[in-house]
């Protein structure tokens, strides 16, 4: 693949360098009125970014399509960020398929794909100054993967600076990541709108993830307990159950499964901390489990006791 040229057949323009990105953005500028929240593309000149680590699947394409609906120009970043992998995690075996990704993006409405190498993103080596996710990053994924969310937020902030979007879209499947990004944007006054996009699932219910590629047929069958637990929690919430009922519904399903559950928590979307048993309003069910050697997560935004309000 030749870098920094338009891909064939009207696909997105691939850039791999900071200069290439700058030139591509100059050709698809964000325009006046770009921050009109709720404007649906349509000539406003809004620029959206969808950040990914590649190995794209239908979940990523849903993000790109959602981006297309709220912006005129869509930039997709593809970068496997070493900073968010601890030593011994799957950085080396993380799936990479740039040509396949570009073929998928050609039909999804991306204008520019920024696919840098680590030396482009981190020209001085590992950054000395980083973003700390704080209390949002110490629990759930952060407890299992110390420093993971700091690495995520650091690269997300860098990519926001490089792409300068009006809106950034993230999947609800990585619920804690979405919470941490929202919190960073709020706490550090980052001038971008953050949009969460619902999880895309396979027909059997498994949440789409690049890591699903690691699963054997039997592991995949066992992994389905996660989405069954999510569904049970959703049903308990819709039936008017409180936090204790929702937790119990998810845990009952997980107890009958054949996976190693790392956590099953019901948390506040603003803090990622456990909600009390009498909690009303928005909450997030967050699940993580090991299936064989593969670690999977699944999540759902829920509304407890207040069905007149939209989901988180
Ligand atoms: O969700 C991901 O794929 C990554 O964590 C992200 C947001 C692209 C940062 O590397």
**What's the CATH class of domain 210-303?**
alpha beta
For the chain, residues classed under CATH 3.30.1300.10 are 210-303
How many CB atoms neighbour CB 127 within 10 A? Answer: 15
Query: Which pair of tokens denotes residue 276?
Result: 């009390």
Probe ligand 1: pick from 96, 156, 299, max atoms within 8 Å of CB? 156
For the chain, residues classed under CATH 3.40.50.620 are 5-197
311 is catalytic: no
CATH number of 5-197: 3.40.50.620
DSSP H/E element including 305: none
Ligand 1, atom 2: closest residue by C-alpha: 52
Query: Which pair of tokens denotes residue 275?
Result: 């909600």
How far is Cα 64 from Cα 174, in angstroms, rounded to an integer?
Answer: 16
Stretches in the chain below the pLDDT threshold 50: 1-3, 8, 31-40, 309-312
Distances (CA, A) of 44 to 7, 231, 277: 26, 38, 45
Nearest of 169, 170, 179 to residue 141 by alpha carbon:
179
Nearest of 278, 279, 285, 287 to residue 302 by alpha carbon:
285
The model carries a pTM of 0.88
Probe ligand 1: pick from 85, 157, 159, 174, max atoms within 8 Å of CB? 174
Dmax over CA atoms of the chain, in Å, equals 57
3-state secondary structure at position 180: helix
Q: Tell which atom from ligand 1 comes closest to the C-alpha of 80.
A: 10
Q: Which residues contact 48 (CB under 8 A, 6 or more apart)?
A: 67, 68, 70, 71, 73, 74, 75, 165, 166, 167, 168, 169
Q: Which ranges in the chain belong to alpha helices (H)?
A: 18-27, 58-70, 98-106, 118-121, 141-144, 148-163, 175-187, 217-238, 243-255
How far is Cα 198 from Cα 201, in angstroms, rounded to an integer?
Answer: 10
Structure confidence at residue 61 (pLDDT): 97
Residues with CB under 6 A from ligand 1: 51-53, 81, 84, 152, 155-156, 174, 177
How far is Cα 284 from Cα 263, in angstroms, rounded to an integer?
Answer: 13
The reply to whether 59 sits in an annotated binding site is yes
How far is Cα 139 from Cα 83, in angstroms, rounded to an integer?
Answer: 18
The reply to whether 134 sits in an annotated binding site is no
pLDDT tens digits, one per residue of 186-227? 999 999 999 999 999 999 999 999 889 899 999 999 999 999
Structure confidence at residue 113 (pLDDT): 98
pLDDT tens digits, one per residue of 173-186? 999 999 999 999 99
The reply to whether 307 sits in an annotated binding site is no
Please name the residue that has the structure tokens 């704080």. 134
Structure confidence at residue 66 (pLDDT): 97
Nearest of 164, 169, 171 to residue 194 by alpha carbon:
169
């Amino acid at each position: 693949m030749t870098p920094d040229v338009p891909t064939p057949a009207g696909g997105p323009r691939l850039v791999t360098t900071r200069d290439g990105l700058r030139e591509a953005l100059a050709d698809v500028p964000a325009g006046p009125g770009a921050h009109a929240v709720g404007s649906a593309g349509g000539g406003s000149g809004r620029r959206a970014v969808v950040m990914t680590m590649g190995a794209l699947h239908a979940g990523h394409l849903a993000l790109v399509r959602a981006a297309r609906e709220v912006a005129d120009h869509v930039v997709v970043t593809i970068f496997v960020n070493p900073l968010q992998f601890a030593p011994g995690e799957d950085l080396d075996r993380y799936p990479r398929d740039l040509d396949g990704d570009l073929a998928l993006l050609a039909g999804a409405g991306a204008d520019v794909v920024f696919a840098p190498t680590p030396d482009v993103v981190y020209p001085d080596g590992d950054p000395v100054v980083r973003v700390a996710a704080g209390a949002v990053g110490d629990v759930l994924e952060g407890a299992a993967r110390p420093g993971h969310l700091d690495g995520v937020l650091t690269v997300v902030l860098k990519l926001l600076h490089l792409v300068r979007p009006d809106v950034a879209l993230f999947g609800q499947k990585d619920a804690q990541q979405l919470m941490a990004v929202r919190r960073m944007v709020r706490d550090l006054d980052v001038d971008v709108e953050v949009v969460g996009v619902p999880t895309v699932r396979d027909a059997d219910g498994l949440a789409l993830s690049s890591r699903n590629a690691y699963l054997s047929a039997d592991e995949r069958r066992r992994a389905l307990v996660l989405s069954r637990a999510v569904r049970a929690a959703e049903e308990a919430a819709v039936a008017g159950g409180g936090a204790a009922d929702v937790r119990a519904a998810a845990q009952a399903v997980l107890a009958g499964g054949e996976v190693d559950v790392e956590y099953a928590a019901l948390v506040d979307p603003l803090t990622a901390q456990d909600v009390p048993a009498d909690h009303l309003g928005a909450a997030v069910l967050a699940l993580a489990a090991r299936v064989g050697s593969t670690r999977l997560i699944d999540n759902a935004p829920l509304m407890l006791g207040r069905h007149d309000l939209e989901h988180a």
